[in-house]
Structure formats: C-alpha cells, structure tokens
Structure 1
Amino acid sequence: MLRTELFQFAGMLALIGSLWALPAVYFSLQADLIGLYATWSIIILAVTVSCLGLGNSPLSTIVFTLFSCAGVIFGFLVLDQFLYATITAAYVVIVCSGTIAKSRLHLASKIAEAGVAEKDQVVSLLLREFEEHGADWLWQIDSSRRLRSVSPRFAYAIGRDPAEANGLAFIETLAGKNWGKDNLCKSLAELADKLKRRESFAELVVQVDVQGRKRWWELSGTPILDDRGNFTGFRGVGSDVTEERESSEKIAYLARYDTLTSLPNRLLVNETLADALKFAEQWKSRCAFLMLDLDRFKAVNDTLGHQVGDKLLAQVAERLNALMGERDMCGRLGGDEFGVVILENANTQYVKKLAKSIIESISAPYIVDDHTLHVGTSVGSAVGPRDGKTVEELMRSADLALYQAKDLGGGEHCSFEASLHALAEEQRQLEASLRNAIGNDELELLYQPVVDANFEKVVSFEALLRWNSKLHGVISPAKFIPMAEETRMILPIGKWVMEQACRKATQWPSHVMVNVNVAAAQLLEPDFADMVAATLDKANLAPHRLEIEVTESVFLSDAGVARAALEKVLNLGCSVALDDFGTGYSSLGYLRTLRFSTIKVDRLFVQGAAQGNRESLAIIRAVVAMSDSLGMTTTAEGVENADEAALIRSLGCTKIQGYYFGRPMQAIEASDLLRRETLRRA
C-alpha cells in the first residue's frame, strides 16, 4: 500500500470504529447493561477479525480498536463496571501490541521472500550462463542412479542426445565399452562406491569411455534430499580434464624417464632403489645395485660426433633392457653411465651372472649409420643393506667398485669390498692436502741431469716434482700427479713448477737447459703460451734454455688445440721434446705435423737393448735414424751403468739420461755438480 492509501484506509476504519462506539455510549446513558454487554461482544469480535485479517496494515487495526473500544470503556465506567472497563483496556493493549508484533513478523517474512526470489533469479541466471558459456556442465541422477534433467552440455560430453540420455544408468554410461567386464577401473569403482554410500565428493578424477575414446573427467556431487529429508538422488558439476591429465602425465614421465633411451632416469632409479632397500630391511632380504660405465665411448663422440654417440647409447639401452628380469630394473644415470637395481633376492651368484651377461652383450659390435662400433663396459656392484643402508651409501659403494673395475683395464666386474671405502677416504684426504700443498710449501723440484752422449757433459736438467706432505709424508708422483690432472689442480701446480724451474735455471751456466713436463690440461688452456712467455720474462731466462716435455697422450683430448699451443711455444724460441715415444699411442703423424726438437726413447727399450732384445735394438736404431733425418736429437732414458751408456752411444743417441749419470737431486746438488764439472774441465 502507498502511504496515502494507508492513511485513507486508517481514517475510514477510525470512522467505522466511532460508529461502533455510539451504541455503547447510548446503552450506558440508558443504563442498559444488557445492551452494553451485547455491543461489547460484537465490538470485541470485530476487533479480533480486524486484527487477524488486516496484518499487513497495522495502523488501521490499531485505529479501529482504539475508537471502537473507547465507547465500551466509557459505558462501563458510567455504569460503574470497573472490572469490565479494565478488562477491555487490557484487551486493547494486547491487541495493539500483538498487531505490531504480527505486522513486523509479516514484514520480515515478505523481505525474506523477496530476497530468496532475488537469489533464485541470480542463481538461475548464473546457471544459464554457466551452461551456455562455461567449460563445465551439470549432471543429476535419481535415487536409482539414472540420469535425469540432462543438460545439453552434459549430453554433448557423453555423445548423446539430451532426450536419449535421460534415464540411462550413470555408471554404465561412463564405463562405455568397458561395462560388463570383471572389474571397473579404480576411479569408476570409487565413484560408484561414493554414490552407493550417498557421500558428497569433490574434484574426483574419473576415467570414462566416451564413444570408444578414453577421457578423464573431474566430478563433484552432493546428495539431494526432499523436504522430509528423504534421499532423491545426486546433483553435481563436472569437467573434462583430459588435456590437463595428459600434460601432467607427460611431465611426470619426463621427470622420471630419459628422453634419449626411454629408460628410467636417475630420479626414478633412486626411488626404486630406496623402495628395494626398504623392502630388504623389512623382510630381511637383499637387494643390489650395479653401476655401469661404457669403455671407449668418448672416442666415438670425439671422432664421429654426438649424434652417432646418442644413437649408440640408444642401442646400448635396448640391449641392457633386454637382459632385465622381473625383479630387475635398469636406468640411465647420465652421460654413458647406467644403473641396474635388483629388487630382491640379490645373491652373489645372480649378481655375478647378470654382470657377466651385461658385459658380454654390450661388448658385441654395433652398427650405427654404416659404422661398425666397438665399446665395452665396466661394472661395479654393491649389495644392500650390507654395503649401504641408504641410496647414497649403496650407490657410492657401487661407484667405488666401478672405479676398481676400470683400474683393471675395463671390461671387468668388481664387487664392493670394505677396503675400497678406506682407499676412497685416503684419496679424499690426499686431494684435500694436495690443494694446500703449494701454500704449505710442501712441493719441491728435483733435477736429474741429461748429458751429451759423446762427451758426457751436462747439457740440461729435467725438473721432477716431488711432494712431501706434512700429514701423509712422501707421496709418489705416480699417485698424486694423476690426481692433480683429474681434479685440474695440475694447472696451478704446473705453473708453479714452470716458475721454479726457470728461476733455478738462471743460476746455471748459459749452455745448460731445463726440461719441464707439461700435462694435456695445461696445453688446452688458451693462455698457455702467454704463461710460458711471462714466466721466461719474469725469470729473465732465454727461451732457448727451456724445453717443454710432452707425452703422446696430450694429442688425444684435442689434438688441434695442443698442436697450436706447442707451435706458439716453438715460435717463442723454446724446444719441445716428445717423451716416452713408442710406449703409448705412437703415431708418425705427430712427427710430420709438429717440429719436435727431441725424441726421448723410453727406458723399456734401453733395458731391452741392454739385454740383447732384437726388437728393442731395432726400434732404437729406427728412432735415431728418423730423428737424424728430421733434424731432431734423441735422448735415451734409464741408463744405469757404463755398458748401457756405451751401447746407447754406439746406437747413435744424442743425449743420455739415467742413474749412471745422476739420480734426481736437489737444486743445490745440481749446482754443485755443474761447478765440479766446470772445474774438472778447466
């Protein structure tokens, strides 16, 4: 009602109430108590009806009550009926307060109804928008789990017409062609179980079959209850998450599998090994881990390229995977390293048998891009939990066994032994001490004389590095030099040797040279020649008094870079000697492409010639003849007595080096030797 209508209606009821009050006043003035009682009853009935029927207009009811009851109260007071007057007044108060309370309740309910209606409109609008434009859809089933009120989007998702889909069994529709098999997939079985138990669920990922295509849906649902709490079905939403599922599966695959070989990668190998160790500890059994490293694989990469190397690795992976049994799993750890996990019952015989099969299979020839390739493998094995109770410990034990197998020359299998840990710890401590050897003043250079073969006068000294560790004592060069090369500590150590040797050579007569051995890693440094030039300049030593000694192994890493570095050293005016010629990877191509100054004949040939070995004699004669024709000098190493010196002299070698003319000596002894020689000749 409008405000004006409300006041008009209230005024009309005030007039009606006044008209009802007139009879009460009349009967009181006539002292007609019976008539007053009758009028009072009718007015009370009219007020009650007004209160019940005009709840939406409380002002009208209150006005009608006040005006009509005022005449009754006046009449009772006139006739001295004070009790009835009081009852009537109380009735008026009750009716007015009740009318106000009822009207407030009525107004609140109307406001609530309006709010609910507005929310229903909003929800209907949102659902319509959700169905028409959203990526998800609504679904609903009855108490017998059959589809009802099928929305167009859900019908499209299951590949059916909405009218056709109504009444279909929900689980059977989702199972598709898989319905009727002995067991549903795990996710569908879980959905069926939740529907059966009438449980709410959210974001449940279910594998469904839509017209023969496997899809993944994400469903949420809640039970529907009627006004009396009876179950009438389920209602929920769903969406197709097949692309997201496939993407996550692909990411999970890439995280745990090697893309080149399709074998498990290091992460999955570690997880599998952890599970095997846990199982072994729980059931008091044994598992094992085999670590493999390919032999001669680097040569394939260096000569034929990484593309051929990758194809070779793929073939190795196929052979390795073919050897795996039900309780075995192989994976690629990285590079040319592979690992094998024996999950249970890893007895010694089985481990040895599997390792032997792996070595034989991988060592067979490969055909890659019309190339016949030969690689081998070394295998190290460790048994858990005996050789390691954690993944890290067991893999480290297998790695130590692998190093031992490679030290034996490759193509071997070695099992872990407790002594290998002690050896590895010793190596670790040695490495730590070697890093501080220069700073702790523990390195020393000894000098072994090289004499002229004919006149037996000293023409040079070879600088030989020695290490007297404060913690470990005297360490053999055969032990710490390979360690220095492997850890690249040979770079600062080699620079220190060069500086010390050049500085000491300045104290010798000008005709005496110094020979410094250089490792492959030093030659591969781009500033090697600059370092040599700076060292000579700092020591003020003439370049022709320095001879760099290299072995043939320096050309195996990067022959071009090594050759270029030595050419720069030769251009400085220094000499270059090829050490241990004939014992390693000999190639006359080195002599053709690089102007060596000296070829050093290894002591093995000298000793062989002294014992009358024809092959050794022939090799020394050939080297001497070749050196003479190329304008090189020859130095025979390992001469230990006068007879050997005479033999080498007769074979035509230019220089001799060996214990007969002097063992490696300290710098002061070298200076004394030169001083005595000068006095003797004087």
Structure 2
Amino acid sequence: MPIDMRALLALSEGCDPREWGRLRAAQLDAGRQLAWFALAANLLATAVCAALLYPRMPFWQVASWSTLLIAGTVWVTIRRRLAPSRAAGHGGRTDIRATLWEGGSLALAWSVIPVFFCPQVPVATSIGLGLTLMIVMTGAAFAMAPLPLATLMFVGTLGFVSFVQLMLMHAVAIAGGVLAFTLLLMTACLSRTRALVTIHNAQAVLDERDETISVLLLEFEESAAEWLWETDATRRVIRPSARFARACGRAPADIDGMPILQLLAGPSWDSGTFAAGLRALAEKLRNRDSFVNLRLPIRFTEQERWWQLAAAPRYDDRGIFCGFRGVGADVTDQRASADKINRMARFDTLTGLPNRRLITETLSDAMIAAEACGGRCAFMMLDLDRFKAVNDTLGHPVGDRLLCQVAERLGHMMSANESCGRLGGDEFALVVRDASDTGAVEELAGRIITALSRPYDVDHYTLHIGASIGLAFGPRDGRTSEMLIRSADLALYRAKDAGRGVFRVYEPALYVQAEERRVLEIALRGALDRGEMSLAYQPIIDTQGGMLRGFEALLRWESPEFGTVPPSRFIPLAEDARIIAQIGAWVLRTACAEAASWPEGLRIAVNVSPVQLQNDGFVTTVATVLADSGLSADRLELEVTEGVFLREDRGATTTLARILDLGVRLSLDDFGIGHSSLGYLSRTRFSSIKIDGSFVRAAARGGREALAIIRAVVALAQSLDIATIAEGVETQDERQLVAALGCTHAQGDLFGRALPVTETRTLAERDWTDSAAA
C-alpha cells in the first residue's frame, strides 16, 4: 500500500480507511510502549538543566520550572500508559490528533529555558542549556517518530521559540542554525515515520501471508491427496501427520522416530533388495540434496503402491542441518494411466505388437550393442501379399482379424534374440539383435514366409496370403537405424519385383539403383513443363483389306540429361511418384486433339495405367478431353492391361464401366503374357483384344503352343464379337499368318513404325486402300 503523507498525519482517511486504521492503531501502541522511555529522558534532561541553573538562578524559579516540566511529563506518560493497547485494533484520526496536546504541552514547558533562563545566565551556561535542548529535540525526533504529530509539535514549537528568542538577542547566525537544525529534525522525523509505517505494513502483509499459508497447510493436511513428512538430522521420522501415517497403514506414534528408509523399504529392509527409487532417495538424503518428483514403489500390504516424494533440507539459524521436510503423494493411479498411455504410444492397438516407434528404438539399441561388441544385427521389413484383396472383398473387420493371426504366428516364431512389430497397414518388421550367423537369419526369413503363407481360418473363410521380406544387416548396410530401415525397404522393393513370396538381402547396387530412380524422378517431374515429352503414333490396319483403321499413341521422353528414356522405365516411376495422372491427362488431351483432325473413321488408342483408373477424377478427365477436342467418344479406345484386375481393387472395374457409359471403347492389351484369365473378358465389355507380339513371332516359327493360343483367343473373341489385334507384325509371313488365323487387325513395323505428328497426318490423309493394292 502506498504511504500517503496526509493520511500519515491524520489529515485524511487514506485510500484504504480499514488499512490506515490498523496502521494508526500500531502507531498509538508504539507510542504507549515508548512512554517510559520518554519519561526517563525528560527527567534526565530536567536534572541536567536544573544543575546548570541552580547556582545562577533563584532556587524557587528553578524548582518551579522543574516541577512544571516533571508534572507535564508524568501527565503525558500516564495518559499514554492508560490508553488501551491497539496493536490488533483500530485507531482513528482523532486519536492521532490528540497527541498534538502532548507534544505542545511538553514544548511549552521546555520553552521556558530559551525564553526566561537563557537571557539571564552567563554565555557558558546558555551554551550548555542550548546543547541540552538540542539533544532533547533530537531524541524526540527519533524516539517519538511513531507519533509524528506530537513529535513535530514538540520539535517545531521548541525550535521556533528558540529561533525567535535568538533573533531578539540579535544572534542572527545562531538563530539561522537553530532554524535549519529544526527543519532538518522535522524532515528526519517524517522520513523515519514513513519508514516505520512501511516496515510495519510489510510485516503485516507477511503475517497475513503466513496465516494464509498455515490455513492452507491445515486444509491440505486434512483434505488433499498429498501429505507432509519430516525427518530429523539422523533421517528419522518426526512429527508424522495423520495422513502420512494413514498412508503407511500405521498409527502416528508407531512411525514417530522410525528411520524413513526402513519405513519405506517395508519387507525388503530385511532382505536387502531395494528398488532403484529407494536407492535414489537414500542418495539424496545422504548428500542433503533437494529433490522433486522422485518415484519409488511401496509395499506395506500385498498390493504394491507407487509414491512420489519431494523434499528440501532444513537448517537452523546457525546453519546446522536439522533434517528434511517434504511432501508425498500416492501416484499409483497416475502411474497406471501413464503406463497405459506409454503402451498405446509404443504398441500397436490392434495386434499388441510393438509399433514403429518402439521397433525403431529396439533397432537403435541393437545397433549400439552390435557396435560395442563388434558384432552385427539385422532388420527385416515384411509386407503381406494379397492382403488388400481380403480387405476389399471381405471388409476391414476380417482384415483386422487376419492381421491379428499374422501377428500371433510371428510372435510364436520369436526367440529372446528377436523382436517383431507392426509398422502399419500390412507392414511388419523384425529386429534380430545378434545376427552374427547370417545363414540363420536368412533361414529365419524363409521360415517366416513359409509360416505366413499357410492358410488362415477367419470367420469361416479360408484365406491365402503370403509375405515378401527385405533384409538388411547392420552396421554393414547402415550405421544408423534410419539407414538400415531404408536399406531393408530397398531390399523389400526388390523382393516384390521378384514376384513376391520371397526375401531379398540388401546389396549396395540397390542403393545405386534407388539413387538413379530418385534423380530420374526429379527429372521426370519437370519433363512436361520443359516440353521434353511427345507422342508418336503407330498405325493399326485391317488384316483383310489393308485399310488404315487408326493409330496407337505412344509416349516418348527425350531427356537432355538421360537421352531417350523408354516407357518401360519411366512409366512405373511415374506411377510410384504419383504423377502418372498428370502425364496421362496430357497424353489424352494431346492424342484426342490430334485425332480430331484426322478423317472420320480413324480411331485413336491410348494406353491407360492401372493407377490412373484408381483416380476418382479420371472419368471426368476423359469426358472433359472429349468435349474440349470435339472427338467422338467412339473414336477413342483406351487400352488397359491385365494389371487392372490384379491390383486387388474393385474400384477399377467400376471406373471402366463408367468409361463405357461415355461411349468410349476399351481394349485389353498384352493379353496372354501375364495372369491371363477368361474371366476378365466377362467383367467388362471390351471392343478388342491385343495379342502380344511374342506369340506372333513364336507362331511364325512354328510354335504349336503359340498357334494354339492365338486360335483360342481369336475363337473366343469371335464368339464375343470382339476384334483381335496382333501386335509386333514385322514380316509379310507374320502378316499372312495372323490374317489366316483370323486376327482382324494388326500393327507393327511392317505397316509403319511409330511416327511423329507430321508423318502421322500425311498417312492419315492418304488413300490407304490404293496404297495397299499397289
């Protein structure tokens, strides 16, 4: 609270009347306590002055003055002492103002000396009397500072009377000194009063705060979940609270004086088997260190509890160690919740296996251990084959239960040397801590694939899946966990390319290939914008009449850095990089715009990636391209491969149906070279089937199997009213053969290589019938 000078002198109530009332009460009580001191000081000063005056002044005058001064002093003392104590009460402005009479009466009594006695005594006596008055004024200014009005009245009156008397005696210099001394004393009095009030106010605030803390501690002790504990210098419990004793399961008297470590150790005190937390507590107590959040297990009963302790050492005024005082709490429930949260953060909620985070930490620990002993560890990345088909056809609940069975099989195959976990989706991982025997690790990978490839019985379904594994050894294939995981991932990618159901070990060449793919991908992302891509068009002719029926658009990439990049290399990369949709849309727009300038009746065939069909906006893209180019829908033929049906995605079939609704034709490309199934032809209405050139070449060489396959495909196509296109026709013999076998169309270098735009337009405008007849 700021100290207002007007309120200090009782000229106003102050900004906080209640607080100022308390301060004034303290002032009055301080004046009461100083009354005896004031009496003794005045009697001593009176005796000194009387001794100086008696030889030189009549006895009756000195005695009369002494009696008057002593009577006044006694009256002030009695008045103050009889006033009630107000240390904890309330003092008013009237009480403070009443002290003016005390200071004024004493000042008048002492004024007799400068007014009456000093002019009549020798100079030496006057100097002695003057010095005595100055001492009296100085003592009053400091000793009576708690009552500023009384002090100011006393010092001011006595100083002013002395000043006037000296001026009348023409002692101007001395009068000025007395005046300055008086003003200095009055200023010092006010400053000391302000300081005393400030100190008292601060002490009152501290007392109030201590009282509040005491109340809070009492409430804390009675109602809070925590408790207070205290030890002496020998680490024995002292003054145990009721809550602390109740937490220990004992009465306060039973644990008073008991060693704190023995109390907390419980049954383990006799066995000497101490928890790490108790050892840490013993260390802190021995070193006299403060500590917080120290957790340790407590077992007073059959059930183990967890306590959290905090404490600080205590020292007395001389700096001697007295023990510890602290607070404790039972955090068993919080620890259980924290353990649950930690488990959720480190374990897969579906399978119960360690998750990616914990597997990564386990791998890091294994690599550190291998590095320390000069050994090696291993990391496997495992991907389930054909799992997506189960999820899509039977639903996620079945897929989840299948994953749990996979996790169970993996768990049964783990020894103390291995840890397995789930990274997410259908990806699992395995850490081999000691992989010194690489043959044993590879054998384990093979056994895992065999075990996971056995049939599963889930909700009355017999399910068949498999697994592919990428294997990397540390620190050979990576000196950090991140590098080793990347190496295993590259090996897994190679295992998938190898046909799945196998494991592959990381080789440095895989990193080189991955780096080449990365650089090539960077170049591919900007190829369209830099104008590096173009379309070439290969003619498709009628085998019977030799008429031109259309063209197939073939994508070409001429890179300044990599030269001519074949589609077999950059198309899979574009699919993995998720930029195939952008490239495919450009191919569609360019091909359709070009075909719109050709004579009516010529079709354009465009290859479509299975990844494009998974894009929800693909059908919209086709419709937009047709509308913008003005090309009739029946002149556009989209070529898809069997991969569309092998990607375990029923959405592709739906997309193809929506494309057919637009009036666009569909062609099944490369039929016979993959997992060919006649069922594909029943799922979608194809306009044509393309027979791969490898069968054409084999049939031309007299291969019976190739001949039989072509005949079967042609017969099937004729029965379904589907055209057949023989690819890769390069010689007249091959042309005559495919025509004789019943293929309706053919394409290949015999009829024309893939042509640039200008040559394509020239060919499209020629009379193909006349050319073929010639």
Equivalent residue runs for 1:116-155 within 5 Å: 121-155=211-245
CA distance in 2, matches of 1:28, 1:321: 119
- Residue segments in structure 1 that go unaligned for 5+ positions in a row: 30-49
Question: 2:302, 2:582 → 1: CA distance?
Answer: 69
In structure 2, C-alpha distance between the alignment counterparts of 1:538 and 1:137, rounded to whole Å? 80
Q: 3-state DSSP class of the match of 1:264?
A: coil
1:639 to 715, 721, 729: 729
1:418 equivalenced with 2:418 (yes/no): no
Task: Answer yes or no: is the 8 Å Cα contact 2:313–2:324 preserved in 1.
Answer: yes
**Residue matched to 2:686:** 596
1:217 maps to 2:307: yes
The answer to whether the Cα contact below 8 Å between 1:634 and 1:654 also exists between their aligned partners in 2 is yes
Deviates more, 1:418-427 or 1:518-527: 518-527
Q: Secondary structure at the match of 1:195?
A: helix
Which residue pairs with 2:553 in the alignment? Answer: 463
User: Which amino acid is the alignment partner of residue 214 of structure 1?
Assistant: E
1:237 pairs with 2:341: no
Residue type at the aligned position of 1:677: W
Asked if 1:381 corresponds to 2:471, the answer is: yes
What secondary structure, in the 3-state scheme, does the structure 2 residue paired with 1:358 have?
helix
* Structure 2, unaligned runs of 5 or more: 1-27, 57-73, 82-101, 147-192
Please say if residues 177 and 212 of structure 1, whose CA atoms lie closer than 8 Å, have aligned partners that are also in contact.
Answer: no
1:191 partner letter: L
Partner of 1:342: 432
CA drift of 1:341 comes to 3.0
Aligned equivalent of 1:195, options 285, 292, 301: 285
The residue aligned with 2:12 is none
Segment of structure 1 superposing worse, 113-122 or 602-611 = 113-122
Any conservation in 2 of the 1:402–1:413 contact (CA below 8 Å)? yes
1:378–1:94 Cα change, 3 Å: same
Question: 2:66 aligns to what?
Answer: none
Following superposition, the deviation at residue 433 of structure 1 comes to 1.8
Structure 2 SS opposite 1:665: coil
Aligned counterparts of 1:7 and 1:146: Cα–Cα separation in 2: 47
- For the pair 1:488 / 2:578, whether they are aligned, the reply is yes
Cα shift at 1:515: 1.6
Residues 676/169 of structure 1: CA separation in 2 closer, same or farther (3 Å cut): same
Q: Tell me the distance in 1 between the aligned counterparts of 2:762 and 2:32.
A: 136
Whether 2:672 is the aligned partner of 1:582: answer yes
Q: Assess if the C-alpha contact under 8 Å between 2:307 and 2:331 holds in 1.
A: yes
Output the CA distance in 1 between the equivalents of 2:631 and 2:381: 51
Counterpart for residue 377 of structure 2: 287
Match of 1:265 in 2: 355
Report the Cα distance in structure 1 between the residues aligned to 2:232 and 2:35, rounded to whole angstroms. Answer: 55
Q: Does 1:406 align with 2:496?
A: yes
Further displaced range: 394-403 or 190-199: 190-199
CA distance in structure 2 between the aligned counterparts of 1:228 and 1:556, rounded to whole angstroms: 87
Aligned CA distance change for structure 1 residues 358 and 97 (closer, same or farther; 3 Å): same
TM-score computed with the length of structure 2 as normaliser: 0.71
Matching residue within 555, 559, 574 for 2:645: 555
State which of 503, 526, 540 in structure 2 corresponds to 1:436.
526
| Structure 2 letter corresponding to 1:629 | S
Instruction: Please state how far the C-alpha of 1:435 moved relative to its aligned partner.
Output: 1.8
| 1:500-539 pair list within 5 angstroms | 500-539=590-629
* Greater mean alpha carbon deviation, residues 316-325 or residues 184-193: 316-325
Paired AA for residue 667 in structure 2: A
SS across alignment from 1:510: coil
Deviations 1:503-540 (A, max 9, x none): 33344443332222222233333443443343334333
SS of equivalent residue, structure 1 residue 213: coil
- The residue aligned with 2:296 is 206
Contact kept? 2:392, 2:650, Cα under 8 Å: no
SS at match of 2:304: strand
Q: Match of 1:664, as an amino acid?
A: A
Q: CA offset at residue 91 of structure 1?
A: 11
1:247 aligns with 2:337: yes
- Corresponding letter in the other structure for 1:546: L
Deviations 1:552-597 (A, max 9, x none): 3223447654344434443444322222233334444443343222
> Partners in 2 of 1:221 and 1:15 — Cα distance?
56
Residue equivalent to 2:717: 627
Q: Which one of 671, 677, 681 corresponds to residue 768 of structure 2?
A: 677
Worse overlay, 222-231 or 566-575: 222-231
Change (3 A) 1:25 1:654: closer
Cα distance in 2 for residues equivalent to 1:15 and 1:481: 114
Compute the displacement of 1:305 (Å).
2.0
SS at match of 1:596: coil
Q: Which amino acid in structure 2 is aligned with residue 330 of structure 1?
A: C
Alignment of 1:277-356 (within 5 A): 277-344=367-434, 346=436, 348-356=438-446
- Preserved contact between residue 176 and residue 211 of structure 1 (Cα < 8 Å): no
Q: 2:261 aligns with which of 158, 166, 171?
A: 171
> Residues 576-635 of structure 1: CA distance to partner in whole angstroms, max 9, x if unpaired?
222223333444444334322222233344344444444444433333333223222222
Query: How much does 1:472 deviate?
Result: 0.6
Quote how far apart the aligned CAs of 1:400 are: 1.6
